[in-house]
Amino acid sequence: MTEKLTPTDPARVGGHRLLARLGAGGMGVVYLGRAESGELAAVKVILPEYADRTEFRTRFRREVAAARRVDSPWAVPVIGADPDAPAPWLATAFVPGPSLAEAVAACGPLPPRGVRVLGRLLARALTAVHDAGLVHRDVKPGNVLLAADGPRLIDFGIARATEETALTSAGMIVGTPGFLAPEQARARPASPASDVFALGCLLSYAATGRPPFGTGAVDALLYRTVHDEPDLAGVTDDTRAFLERCLAKDPAARPPAREVAEILADDTSDEDLDWLPDAVVRLVAERSAATLALPDIEATALDARADGRPSDGQPPDVPSDVPADAPAASGPVGRRRFLLLGGAAALLAAGGGAALWATRRDDDGTPSAAPPRARRWVLGVQADLTGPRKALGQAQERGVRLAVEQFNSRADKPFTLTLRTVDDRGDETRAAEAARTLAADRDVLAVIGSTGDGTTGASLDSYDEQLVPQLTVSSAQSAYGTAQPRHFLQTVPGYTNLPVTAAFSLRAQGARRVAVLIDRAGAVPAWEFGRTMFQNLGVIGIAGEPRVVPRLAENLAATVAEMVAHRPDGFVCTGTPARVAAVARALARTDFDGPRVLGHPAAGPEFLTAAGAAAEGWQVFAPYIAPSAAPVRAFATAHRKRYGAPPAYWAAEAYDVARMVITRLVEAGGRPSRQQLYDLLAKGTYKGLVRTYAFDEEHRWWLKGYETFRYEVKGGRYSYAGKADA
């Protein structure tokens, strides 16, 4: 997907007329450019602050040299570069298809034959990489682009020659967790065998729709990569056999890339491929059609005319015989469509009749088949309304609905806001479908949701692909899968933030030696909360004594007894409500009488019921405020009037987030595009009832701050003790 050029973008780079942005990262911007021959290119331009660093320029020069040494039809070729330019740049052939990550997220796993063709051709690309004396080091779904005639391996930015000294720091892990080899996870040098392991991970993902070592926190991914066996459930027997060889822990046991290509060879020639399912072929065709429908070239700072007036943005190679009063299709856009028509038509023909046209574009730059009409202003909600977390989902939906209704009741409202709600039932497959449904509605400006971590992660790619701002109220993981979300905002302190206030509170209560029990049955929330709690205790001078129990461990009482024998004066436990309740009962049978902290994901009525009297005195540090607290009292009154009942936990937070979105929509001064709305949300600061919402400059989707609220179990219920201070 492309984005419009900004006024500060260059007009040309190295003979390429820039047409749009393809993406931006911490070190540079990738543009869609067109050479004088009409050939499209992905042009990577490095930011000046990095170009001025000698070490970085050396690394970039190495990247260019590495990419030029790879000769394979299945690796995207370099078509131009200048590592010594004031703003160093690298141009590679442009592939309009989606990445493998996008295709699997949108269309599901590839069929067995598609996986084998993918593996064969990528193995040939890696053979070329290794024959050139290089190691790619980051083979992952996001670095594989799909086209009708086969895949393309991209991004040699961290590839390096096997005989060279690495420019990265000692102990640095290079690659993408979940798609790197055990030796890389241990921060050891990568080899061609490491690329083969990553290829095995990638093909397992293509076959099943999930990484073989799961998702979640980086530390957990690295641990599973080194110690656990891959999850190959759902992989066909013939594919499983060679994947197990590729995923061997010992690099010497893995086949070389050339052998992988031979293992996967069949009777199909590389020139006669029919390997992608229809849904993916249509996605490839749609991407090509979207390229044809590029917006008019935006005037940039470097397009200024000599007289100081902005130029019309028309590239110099537009034919001089185009009439000045010709319709728009005869100008720059029409010419780009003409130049691209041949290649795109072939892709569309392969797509089984997908339509090729671009008569109108929505205000966020995406093609639309609908005739012009009055646009609705729609706010989406994706939540678990009927599944295992329906109480939480229903509370959030009510909070958002109340905010929308209050706004629509204003006499001075500049527009009327419509609410569209989709129930994902807490199921990841349904969550992905729900996200695709909401994202496909061009009137939806933003979506609040989903309720849980798994459903939120399953939704990210669909919203990202359509540039939809997604704001989660209650999902607090530090990572989702392997991709960095680009249009996502986490409006809740993360599981790794909450232990900060809990650790300081334990110190204030006199604790100097704290036992930390991390139950892996609690999945990512338990791991992130427990591990970060242990780290924070050390930072503030408290001795932490951690224990990690497996998900299937049964005798938790023995673990508790062993931990208490070390005489701690504080106790922290994370896990599921039922298993933490078992720990609470076991702890109550000992002589321990210090403060006890329960990780908030396990706090709920289930813990109180299962723990009984043993729950008394346990403390919870949670990101949600009590519905009866003074800051949200007016909201609670309005909620009771609207729904006939007081609000539940998490309703006030959802109300806050909805009001923040509405405020940004009003401030936009007109209907914003989805990207514009995301930028307003990500860069702004909003003072809500519960907390102040502002987001991290580097990790743009992380909420700043540690606003946490303390509860203590008294009389069989969670008693609100106010805001906890770090």
Do residues 434 and 423 lie in contact, with contact meaning Cβ atoms separated by under 8 Å? yes
Question: Per residue in 69-93, pLDDT tens?
Answer: 888 999 988 888 888 888 888 898 8
Q: Is 319 exposed, middle or buried (0-12, 13-18, 19+ CB in 10 A)?
A: exposed
User: Beta strands 134-135 and 89-93: pairing type?
Assistant: unpaired
pLDDT of residue 385: 96
Q: Is 668 exposed, middle or buried (0-12, 13-18, 19+ CB in 10 A)?
A: middle
d(CA 124, CA 294): 33
E strand or H helix at 92: strand 89-93
Point out the residues of the chain with pLDDT beneath 70: 1, 24-27, 48-52, 156-175, 267-273, 289-374, 481-484, 726
d(CA 591, CA 571): 13
pLDDT of residue 185: 84
Question: Per residue in 682-715, pLDDT tens?
Answer: 999 999 999 999 998 777 788 988 889 999 999 9
The single residue of 9, 138, 155, 519 carrying the catalytic annotation is 138
138 is catalytic: yes
Question: Per residue in 649-694, pLDDT tens?
Answer: 999 999 999 999 999 999 998 999 999 999 999 999 999 999 999 9
- Torsion angle, CA of 198/204/208/209, rounded to 10 degrees? 10
DSSP 491: -
d(CA 535, CA 524): 16
Question: H helices within 604-686, ranges in order?
Answer: 605-611, 633-643, 651-667, 674-683
Do residues 194 and 181 lie in contact, with contact meaning Cβ atoms separated by under 8 Å? yes
Instruction: For residue 169, say if its preceding peptide bond is cis, omega within 30 degrees of 0.
Output: no
pLDDT of residue 156: 66
Do residues 180 and 194 lie in contact, with contact meaning Cβ atoms separated by under 8 Å? yes
3 in helix, strand or coil?
strand
pLDDT of residue 267: 56
pLDDT of residue 293: 55
Residue 685 token pair: 């600061």
pLDDT of residue 270: 55
pTM over 0.75: no
Which domains are assigned to the chain?
1-94 (3.30.200.20), 96-276 (1.10.510.10), 278-350 (no CATH), 377-494+629-695 (3.40.50.2300), 498-622+710-724 (3.40.50.2300)
Do residues 707 and 723 lie in contact, with contact meaning Cβ atoms separated by under 8 Å? yes
d(CA 639, CA 324): 60
Residues with Cβ within 8 Å of 140's Cβ and at least 6 positions away in sequence, in order, are 101, 175, 176, 178, 179, 198, 201, 202, 482
Percentage of the residues of the chain whose pLDDT score is greater than 90:
53
Stated length of the chain: 726
Residue 89 token pair: 């740049």
